[in-house]
Every structure is written in C-alpha cells, then in structure tokens.
C-alpha cells in the first residue's frame, strides 16, 4: 500500500477523534465554539516583502492548509467543521488550489474571496478564537483570544497522536532518510556545507521554506554549534567530521533526524559508533509510564561513561554528572515531543492550568518532563561536543584537572556528535520511525 493511501485512509478517523477532543475541551472551558484562524502574511519592517508563512498548527491539526493564510475553521459540538477557504482572485501571487477531496470532504467548505470572510461565521460571546493574525486582536475581546486553559487542554490532546498523524510523521521520516542518504553521499564526495544542503533539498524536491526547521549542516568544529545556521561555501583545509540535523514534512508534520560521520577511522569514528549503539538502546526504552526526565538523567551517566572510556574526562561517570561536568559536553536535553511543530507542544505541562512539571535541577534546556503515554512521538537525541565557551568556563571556574585537555585539543576539530531518531510510544514496543525509514531504503 502506498504511503499516501495509508495516510489518507486514517484521516476520517483522525477527524472524528479530534472533533471529540475539541468538543470535550470546549465544554470543559465553557465555550460553545472555536474559530481557528490560519494567520496572515506579515511584511518585514518598512517593506512590502513578506516573511515565509507558517500556518497556525491548530489549524494544521485539522487539515493540511500549509500555505493557506487567512483561511479559518469554525468548530462546534455536533456539527461538521466549517472551513472558510481563502482563495483570492490574485495575479500578484498564485492563490491556493481548490481543496483536495481526500480531506475537504470532511468539512463544510465556504470558498472565500475576501480575507475577512470568517467574520460571517456566526460566532458569539462563547466562541474562543485561536490564532495570532492581527485581525483577530482587532475584532475579538482579549478574554476570548487564545484562552490559556483551552489552549493548554488542546496542547495536551495534541501529545497523543492519532494513526493518521503517526503515518504523516513516518512519511516525513521516509523523506528525510532519503535526503540524509543523499547528503552523506555528498559529504563523502567532498562537497561544502552549502552544496550538501542543496543536495539534501534536491533529493526530495523541497525548498528551504518547506523544511520543518533550518537544516544544520556542519563540517568539523561547526558541529559543536548546536543550532549551526551558516552554510559555508568554502571547504575546510582538512575534513574531520560531518553532522547533519535535518528533517522533512508531510501534511505539516515534521521529522527531526541527526546523523554524525567521521572522515577517517580513529577515536572520533569509534565514539560515533559507541554513541549510535547507546542511542539505539535508549530508543528501545521509550515505553508508556516512563518519566522522560529519568531517561535524560540516565543518558548523562552514559555519556559521562563514554567520555571517561575515551580518556576525555578523569572522574567516574557518577561524579562527572554530580559535578555538572557532563553538562559541559552535553548541554542540551535528550529530546522533545515531535509533531506539527518540531519542538511540539505540552512537553512541560501537567494540566489545563499549565502547571509546569519541573526540569531536573541543572538541566535548564530539557523540553520534555512528562511521563510518557502511548501515542506520544518524541525525539531521542543524545550528543556530546567540544564547545569552546563551555570548556573555557569550566577551566576558569570548575575543576580544570577533571578534563584531559590534550585529548580535548586533539578531538575538538571534529566538533561533536549527535544521533537523533523519532520514536512512537505504543502500548508495547516503541516504534523507531527513523531506523525503519533508513532500513527500508
């Protein structure tokens, strides 16, 4: 069965499910309806050119309206959702195509030539408005615009993916696996960061604006910059390593995948292999009922153990974690929820009040602190890096003798290592969408 059919076959059930979840959330918060606005185009300051459009993810949950600024959806209990589909008579820009029946048949679609058509939606004072289009603030009382408890409820609902959503993320992983393979080939051919990025995009026919986040395409020490954003057109004199953190999208759903490569055999190549094995095991530990914070802390012990085994640090793993030394090399979180947003919603909240589930002390960048449930999709992305400012700070303010500086100097030109997969929590074994996608190529 083609990917596309698998995805679309699950769509009717997805719509029925999220209609039910919205109805329950509206009732719980005392609303009769919700009007979800896609957003509007925004121009840059003192200019008439627009930023790339990113649709309100709450609308994308319902339908793949990726480029559909100024469309809006009315959700009411017991009624088919009503979509105001903005399709202007325009000759400056290409308007959206007619709605595609595989999804549009589930809506009452009102074709709109006017961006304010949603104003005719027949809403009342018990309608909540969800979105950030400036027109909403003009027309809607503040108390009904993105009511926090309602938004929290919906965010929590979005953490349990339907089969349709999982099929979309699997498709995004399949595309990214193709592109990662093309990029790795480009690295082996000696291409620059810029050229590897172009190779990545061309291999799956995506342009930058269609990627879920800025591709991180890093040779050598650039891979120690966690969200490295430049794409050097010059090749370094000697190539040591390559890290690529890059995803793809399917119907608005993201994949988020990282692979690391060494240019030559040696310690760095061996460390990548050890990290890869460790990461694969971590992915198998992702089961319902697990507190993700525990897995994150466990990873610190494991990474400290690897640093010790490779003679980069001197203390035992437990001591390196307790003193904060492991965070010098591994300063980010183990991962995050993944879905319509790369860093998907509700990773840190417990309830509709938005009560924060605290991060472990000393781990300020962890984006997921919840106990895992079936249907969660998340990333597992341990890494370690030779980050000059963090190493310098430790040298100046910590126990400098805990680090083997000769080893750091020798390995720092390789930058760092990260391995990142996308994993579905199920009632049984976890499903590693990334490994499956690479294995299927």
Residue 194 contact partner, candidates ligand GLY, Mn ion, none, CB within 5 to 8 A by sort of partner: none
Whose Cβ is closer to ligand GLY: residue 156's or residue 218's?
A: 218
159 vs 379, which CB is nearer to Mn ion?
379
Binding ligand GLY by CB under 6 A: which of 165, 193, 195, 245? Answer: 245
Residue 369: name its binding partner from Mn ion, ligand GLY, none (Cβ under 5 to 8 Å by kind): none
Cβ burial 127-148 (10 Å sphere, 16+ → b, else e): bbbbbebebbeeebeeebbebe
Residue 213 interface partner, choices ligand GLY, Mn ion, none, CB cut-off 5-8 Å depending on type: ligand GLY
Kindly tell me which of 93 and 365 has the beta carbon lying closer to Mn ion.
365
Measured CA angle at 434 (ends 335, 240), to 5 deg? 75
In whole angstroms, how close is the CB of 401 to Mn ion at the nearest point?
34
Q: Which 291-350 positions form the footprint of ligand GLY (CB under 6 A)?
A: 342
Query: Rule CB under 6 A: is residue 381 a binding residue for ligand GLY?
Result: yes
Give the footprint of ligand GLY on residues 391-420 (CB under 6 A): 420
Closest-by-Cβ residue to ligand GLY is: 245
CB of 146 to ligand GLY, least distance (A): 25
Site for ligand GLY contains 195 (CB under 6 A): no
Interacting residue with ligand GLY among 193, 195, 221, 256 (CB under 6 A)? 256
Say how many CA atoms lie within 13 Å of 174 toward its Cβ. 12
Task: Give how many residues touch Mn ion by CB under 5 A.
Answer: 5
Residue 171 vs 245, nearer CB to Mn ion: 245
- Residue (195 or 420) nearer to ligand GLY, CB: 420
Residue 21 and residue 157 in contact, taking contact as beta carbons nearer than 8 Å: yes
Task: Output b/e per residue, 376-403; b: 16+ Cβ within 10 A.
Answer: bbbbbbbbbbbbeeebeebeeeeeeebb
Q: Does 19 bind Mn ion (CB under 5 A)?
A: no
Rounded to the nearest 10 degrees, the angle between the axes of helix 11-28 and helix 163-188 is: 120
Task: Please list every residue from 363 through 392 that binds Mn ion, using CB under 5 A.
Answer: 379
Of all residues in the shown chain, the one whose CB is closest to Mn ion is 245
Among all chains, which residue has been given the structure tokens 């690391």? 260
Each residue 91-130 as x (binds Mn ion by CB under 5 A) or -, in order, gives: ----------------------------------------
Out of Mn ion, ligand GLY, none, which partner does residue 29 contact, by CB within 5 to 8 A per kind?
A: none
Distance (Å) of CA 53 to CA 68, 70, 210, 297: 9, 11, 10, 37
- According to CB under 5 A, which one of 245, 250, 320, 376 is a site residue for Mn ion? 245
Minimum distance from CB of 421 to Mn ion (Å)?
A: 10
On whether the CB atoms of residues 338 and 318 are closer than 8 A, the answer is no
What part of residues 252-281 is at the interface with Mn ion (CB under 5 A)? 256, 258
Instruction: Read off the tokens for 288.
Output: 């319902």
Burial of 174 from C-beta contacts in 10 A (0-12 / 13-18 / 19+): buried
State which residue, 193 or 245, has the beta carbon closest to ligand GLY. 245
Min CB(258)–ligand GLY separation in Å: 6
Residues that bind ligand GLY (CB under 6 A): 213, 245, 256, 342, 381, 420
Residues that bind Mn ion (CB under 5 A): 245, 256, 258, 379, 420
């Amino acid at each position: 069965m083609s990917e596309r059919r698998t995805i679309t076959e699950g769509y009717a059930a997805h719509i029925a499910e999220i209609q039910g979840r919205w109805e329950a959330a509206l009732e719980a918060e005392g609303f009769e309806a919700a009007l979800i606005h896609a957003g509007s185009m925004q121009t840059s300051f003192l200019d008439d050119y627009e930023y790339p459009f990113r649709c309100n993810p709450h609308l994308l949950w319902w339908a793949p309206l990726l480029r559909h600024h100024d469309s809006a959806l009315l959700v009411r209990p017991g009624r088919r959702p009503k979509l105001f589909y903005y399709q202007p008579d325009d000759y400056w820009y290409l308007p959206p195509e007619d709605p595609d029946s595989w999804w549009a048949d589930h809506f009452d679609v009102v074709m709109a030539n006017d961006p304010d058509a949603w104003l005719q939606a027949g809403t009342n004072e018990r309608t909540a408005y969800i979105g950030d289009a400036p027109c909403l603030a003009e027309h809607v009382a503040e108390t009904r615009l993105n009511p926090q408890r309602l938004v929290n409820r919906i965010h929590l609902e979005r953490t349990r993916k339907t089969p349709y959503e999982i099929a979309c993320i699997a498709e995004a992983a399949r595309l990214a696996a193709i592109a990662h393979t093309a990029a790795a080939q480009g690295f082996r051919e000696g291409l620059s960061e810029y050229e590897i990025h172009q190779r990545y995009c061309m291999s799956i026919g995506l342009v930058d604006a269609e990627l879920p986040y800025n591709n991180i395409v890093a040779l050598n020490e650039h891979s120690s910059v966690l969200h490295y954003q430049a794409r050097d057109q010059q090749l370094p004199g000697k190539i040591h390593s390559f890290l690529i953190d890059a995803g793809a999208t399917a119907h608005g759903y993201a994949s988020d995948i990282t692979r690391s490569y060494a240019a030559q055999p040696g310690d760095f190549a061996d460390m990548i292999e050890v990290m890869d094995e460790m990461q694969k095991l971590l992915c198998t530990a992702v089961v319902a009922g697990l507190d993700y914070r525990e897995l994150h802390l466990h990873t610190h012990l494991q990474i400290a153990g690897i640093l010790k085994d490779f003679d980069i640090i001197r203390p035992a793993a437990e001591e390196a974690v307790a003193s904060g030394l492991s965070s010098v090399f591994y300063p980010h979180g183990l991962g995050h929820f993944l879905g319509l947003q790369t860093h998907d919603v509700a990773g840190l909240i417990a309830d509709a009040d938005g009560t924060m589930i605290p991060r472990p002390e000393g781990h300020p960048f962890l984006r997921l602190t919840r106990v895992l449930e079936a249907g969660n999709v998340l990333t597992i992305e341990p890494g370690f890096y030779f980050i000059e400012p963090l190493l310098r700070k430790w040298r100046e303010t910590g126990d400098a003798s805990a680090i083997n500086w000769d080893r750091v100097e020798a390995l720092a030109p390789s930058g760092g290592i990260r391995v990142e997969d996308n994993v579905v929590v199920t009632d049984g074994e976890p499903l590693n969408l990334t490994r499956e996608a690479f294995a299927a190529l």
